[in-house]
Chain A
Amino acid sequence: KLAQHHVGQVHVAGVIGCQALATFEPFSFGHSILGYGMSLASRAGVSPVMNRRVLSVMGDGGFWHNGLLTGVQSALFNGDDAVLLIFKNGYTSATGTQDIISTPAEADKDKAPDKRKSVVHTNQTIERTLKGLGVKWLRTVTTYEVEKVRQTLVEAMTSDFNGLKVIVAEGECQLERQRRIKPWLASLLKRGLRVERVKYGVDEDVCTGDHACIRLSGCPTLTLKDNPDPLKVDPVATVIDGCVGCGLCGANAHAATLCPSFYRAEVVQNPKWHERLLSDLRQRLIKRMQLA
């Protein structure tokens, strides 16, 4: 959505999958939807009448189901000028998140020192397959780094390279990530070990109630509450308890230069002694600097 401000309106070819939810408000993205993994193939019918390159979107499930053969193979064979965005979340099917060939291996999940990080980058099957097939223009980004994704999309839409351009956006399926890390964090807490938890929030006195952040994000935990300021009437944005700390709302506000209302809070449970000492020291000094 942000990239369009820069390159103009783009036809987006979608597929059936989690990404199809982007056709709903506030995104309203996806002008055509066809099949499971068919976006790159269906684009072939749309591209000739478009002034700009068409953006095709699919997930890794759709990619393995259909996109690789009908889409990538024929786009390469025909030398098509196309842009493909693959959301590599490591699983297929929103209904059951089944494992597929690009799912990170159990061993890699266990090995990860910080289990809260996405581990999909450990499986490179998609990238190797694309390279093996002869894709020359391949970029990898992290889905939640909005500014980087925007720059890469703009680059793909405006590049002098006229063949197939593929962007792989990595970010582990949040459902699976939550299922993976919740028991791990609970076990750490039970043993009295250090746990760091991230939550985003909105400063209610800084938010002005324009809801531009919601028009860009669509996150279910980013919602509204009555404005606590008796002078203001429009409700302010607020982040409720379901927040998983992905940081998308803050990254959006940052990339769009929206507003300074978002904060990132890291709560350290069972902190180490030197952290506690540093924090005490800081608090004492900060108290002197602060007003009420």
Chain B
Amino acid sequence: MTQQPISLLLCALGGEGGGVLTEWLVEAARLAGYPVQATSIPGVAQRTGATTYYLEVFPVPLSELGQQRPVLGLYPVPGRLDGLVSSELLETVRQISLGHASAERTLVLSSSARALTTHEKMQLADGRRDEQQLMQMIASQSQVHHVLDMAELTRQAGTVVSAVMLGCIAASGLLPIAREAYRTILADGSSAAQASLRGFDLGFTAIEQQRAQARYLDGVLRPEPQLAEPAVFPAPFAPLFPPELHALIALGYERLVDYQSPLYAKQYMERLYEVHRAERESDPRLEHGWAITREMARWLALWMAFDDIVRVADLKSRASRMQRVRGEVKAGSSDLLKLYDHFKPGVPEFAALLPGLLARPLLAWDNRRKAKGKRALALPLKIGAHTITGMLALRGLAALKALRPKGSRFATEQALIDEWLTAVIRLTNLHWQSGHEVAQCGRLVKGYGSTNERGKENLLHVVRHLSVALHFTDHAQRAQAIAAARQAALADDSGKTLDHTLQQLGVPARPIKEQPIRWVRRKAAAREIA
């Protein structure tokens, strides 16, 4: 007898009902009269791999086997898998990379939904995997594949993803079991069973539709996300910038009007125009499609609209925010919402709003305290945005907007922005690529408190050392060095990679910071052995 069993590997994350799915499949196979066997291997999804369930069904009914019984396997044999079903895209690819799937015989049913891994989430910038790569891997390592958003179908049906997965398996025709047999297993009359059946049907229909038309193409050809409601470009500046950049620049302009005033936004336009003029001279034949101006339009606007307590209070006290939160926490129309915000402004945050004359001694005092190893002073606040006093406090803080330009932080930020801007313009004039690289360094500046300080420090280190260093043989080498430093700055938040890279590039590492050392006394007498 040469008949082989049909082998099926299921992967699910914790709480997704992989075990239940396996039981359903075993029951359905039994009901249809086929020999079946299932095993499971626990895993830690998104860390070391999903929990997997392995199932073999012998496609000859027991009634035809007589006294004979098949011997079924306990573990998938690489390359001899008939079906791979997974509720998460990366887990699918992980199983494929273990060599389980083969282009000759494996049918892959995978969800396109992603549950991001910790490693992807903890990056300083954007560490998410490119989904197209994952898709291509599935396409090349499977005989047939269906990728669909099972998480969305699950939400629609109000069930658990296992039901949708069962529907997909049923529709794929992998197992010699009729649709009704699966439905019989699911139905027990309870409300949970109703939801499971809904999920099953959605999964079933989705796969049938995909079989009818190759949906995969849609995914590949998905249009680029459009900018939200296009902002109106301020007319007086229209002739200064190329029309293709108007949408982005208008966003920056609007952001700064909203952040401070039309006057401040006008300053943004003037700064940006200087960059644009430099780029026009550096790239007269427009070979790069205004890439520097584009980058600067983005990063300049974001840096000029630096986040301070005034801005945060403003954003947090808007009516649109209340609406958004209601949606996010799924509060019904008759439910009440209490909304608390935690703030912890420290001395630097208060000093930021004071004029330089007052702020400097205050900051010096705070630094002396920290140098002595004392904890930084901070004022923990819990503000209820749904209460009248809370909202008054937020609006009061937001109203300090008028004082912002007089504060010490504003002055510092403007000086640093100008320093960066000058470097971008100078390098753009010298060599387009170098200018482009320094412009992109704007990405390093973000966050609050120490995160923000660190970003600015890294950026300025590039500006003050790499952009003026004399030892580079040509401009291209400098551009590469700046790009390398920018990547390194985003590698870890302690800056070890950056310092290492800087030294390799032949410029000094960032200065070592003073840090208080604590001594703990240990009495020798107490360590005698009794």
Contacts and interface: CB of A to CB of B under 8 A. Distances in A.
A169 interface: no
A279 B342 CA distance: 21
Given A208-B448, A211-B123, A254-B380, A268 B342 contact: no
Given A265-B325, A285-B388, A257 B340 contact: no
B122 A206 contact: no
A269 B522 contact: no
A53 B312 CA distance: 41
Given A163-B526, A224-B128, A231 B251 contact: yes
A260 B341 contact: yes
A263 interface: yes
A162 B118 contact: no
B158 to A, nearest CB: 12
A33 interface: no
B346 interface: yes
A210 B124 contact: yes
Contacts of A279: 336, 386
Nearest to B44: A21
Contact of A282 (B251, B318, B387): B387
B100 interface: no
B22 interface: no
B339 A203 contact: no
B523 A265 contact: no
A214 B395 CA distance: 30
Contacts of A25: 118-119, 122
Interface stretch (B271-279, B327-335, B501-509): B327-335
B446 A269 contact: no
Given A211-B121, A231-B302, A290-B391, A206 B446 contact: no
A262 B316 CA distance: 11
A275 to B, nearest CB: 6
B276 to A, nearest CB: 17
B484 interface: no
Contact of A208 (B118, B307, B325, B328): B307
A192 to B, nearest CB: 11
A237 B410 CA distance: 27
B470 interface: no
Contacts of B387: 282
Interface in B284-338: 298, 301-302, 307, 309, 312, 314-322, 324-325, 328-332, 335-338
Interface stretch (A60-68, A76-84, A105-113, A120-128): A76-84
- Residue with the greatest number of chain B CB neighbours at <10 A, chosen from A199, A264, A286, A291: A286
Given A212-B493, A230-B227, A265-B325, A257 B121 contact: no
A210 B338 contact: no
Interface in B35-69: 44, 46-47
A292 B320 CA distance: 6
B343 A214 contact: no
B116 interface: yes
Contact of B530 (A79, A160, A163): A79
A158 interface: yes
Contacts of B47: 21, 24
B400 interface: no
A223 B116 contact: yes
Contacts of A234: 125-126, 443, 446
Interface in A199-241: 199, 201, 203-206, 208-212, 214-215, 218, 220, 222-224, 226, 228, 230-235, 239, 241
B518 interface: yes
B342 A254 contact: yes
A131 interface: no
B235 interface: no
A271 interface: yes
B262 to A, nearest CB: 17
Nearest to A247: B342
A268 B386 CA distance: 13
B514 interface: no
B344 A231 contact: no
A266 interface: yes
A7 interface: yes
Interface of A: 6-8, 21, 24-26, 52-53, 77-79, 81, 157-158, 160, 162-163, 199, 201, 203-206, 208-212, 214-215, 218, 220, 222-224, 226, 228, 230-235, 239, 241, 250, 253-254, 257-260, 262-269, 271, 275-276, 279, 282, 285-287, 289-292
Closest 7 interchain pairs by CB? A266-B338, A208-B446, A268-B336, A162-B526, A210-B447, A264-B340, A259-B448
Interface of B: 44, 46-47, 115-116, 118-126, 128, 225, 227-228, 248, 251-252, 255, 298, 301-302, 307, 309, 312, 314-322, 324-325, 328-332, 335-344, 346, 376, 378, 380, 385-388, 391-392, 395, 443, 446-451, 493, 518, 520-523, 526-530
Given A209-B446, A230-B228, 7 more contacts: A231-B251, A234-B126, A263-B316, A267-B329, A271-B335, A279-B336, A290-B395
